[in-house]
Amino acid sequence: MPDSNAPAEALRHRFLTLEILRYNPQEAGSLPRLQSYRIEEADGMTLFIALNEIRTRQDPTLQFDFVCRAGICGSCAMMVNGRPRLACRTLTLDYPDHITLTPLPFFELIGDLSVNTGKWMRGMSERLATWLHGREETVDVTRIEERMEPEVAEAIYEMDRCVECGCCVAACGTAQMREDFVGAVGFGKIARFRLDPRDTRTDDDFYEVIGDDRGVFGCMSLLACHDVCPKNLPLQTQIAFLRRKMAMVG
């Protein structure tokens, strides 16, 4: 029961200051700068709601991405006080009243908080061939689906939960130094197809795509990727396992 005698002051929401990096590389003369916005916090407010509020009421030019608002599409990732996070799954209440938002580093900047993770993910995916390499050229849709042990299916499903948000790459020291590094998201994809009994590729084949400094041997194993993954994928276990396997092939 709310205390009806409580001073009105105590029932008020906080005012938040959001400092946002503004820069539009497509616009001549645009220079990177931090711009401050002040908004009143609402119950259950996420950073996505706060940004939407700013764009609707204060500044329609603010660029940021979102699709699902439910942590599923991976498009709203950004740096929140220096750490990669999904804006739609981040409550303002968990932060002090001053929050700094900058775009994910490493990826091509579209403008303000919007980056082109999709272009990088596609390039990585094509390079690592992250699709099922089955025995047959064509899929027979009339055939009964292949059986799989439940624990194998579960392990594959666990890795398939990746939403390709790019948080793991943004937090990765190696990725900041070499742009051709496949990142934890790339390792996760390889681990997923390695687990899949329907995939005909051998460890020698996987070594061809991740058995160098752009792959597992460039990884410093400090596991920032594991710490920031918003889907809590078992990146630590999978990276350690892949490193061991690839070292045995090499």
Q: Are 17 and 99 in contact (CB under 8 A)?
A: yes
Is 231 a binding residue for ligand SF4 by CB under 6 A? The answer is yes
- Restricted to residues 160-189, the positions that interact with ligand SF4 (CB under 6 A) are 162-168, 171-174, 183-185, 188
Minimum Å gap between C-beta 103 and ligand SF4 is: 15
- DSSP one-letter string for 7-66: -HHHHSPPEEEEEEEE--TTSTT---EEEEEEEE--TT-BHHHHHHHHHHHT-TT-----
By C-beta, is 70 or 132 nearer to ligand FES?
Answer: 70
Is 67 a binding residue for ligand SF4 by CB under 6 A? The answer is no
- Alpha-carbon distance of 68 to 80, in angstroms, equals 19
Minimum Å gap between C-beta 153 and ligand FES is: 25
Q: Which of 84, 11, 80 is nearest to 51 (CA)?
A: 80
Q: Supply the DSSP symbol for 202.
A: -
Which range in 15-23, 42-50, 90-98, 227-235 contacts ligand SF4 by CB under 6 A?
227-235
Minimum Å gap between C-beta 229 and ligand SF4 is: 3
By C-beta, is 74 or 111 nearer to ligand SF4?
Answer: 74
Which of the choices ligand SF4, ligand FES, none does residue 190 contact, using the CB cut-off of 5 to 8 A by kind?
Answer: none
Q: Which of 4, 1, 33, 35 is nearest to 18 (CA)?
A: 35
Is 75 a binding residue for ligand FES by CB under 6 A? The answer is yes
Minimum Å gap between C-beta 81 and ligand FES is: 18
Question: What is the token pair recorded at 157?
Answer: 């499903």
Q: What angle do CA 128, 166, 64 make, to 5 degrees?
A: 135
Q: Are 187 and 235 in contact (CB under 8 A)?
A: yes
Q: Are strands 77-80 and 83-86 parallel, antiparallel or unpaired?
A: antiparallel
Dihedrals φ, ψ of 111, to 5°? 170, 140
Q: Which amino acid is at 148?
A: M
Is 209 a binding residue for ligand FES by CB under 6 A? The answer is no
Which of the choices ligand SF4, ligand FES, none does residue 111 contact, using the CB cut-off of 5 to 8 A by kind?
Answer: none
Is 91 a binding residue for ligand FES by CB under 6 A? The answer is no
Q: Which amino acid is at 2?
A: P
The label of the residue with tokens 């058995």 reads 211
Which range in 97-105, 145-153, 193-201, 221-229 contacts ligand SF4 by CB under 6 A?
221-229
By C-beta, is 45 or 185 nearer to ligand SF4?
Answer: 185
Binding site for ligand FES (CB under 6 A): 66-69, 71-76, 86, 88
Binding site for ligand SF4 (CB under 6 A): 162-168, 171-174, 183-185, 188, 219-225, 229, 231, 233, 239
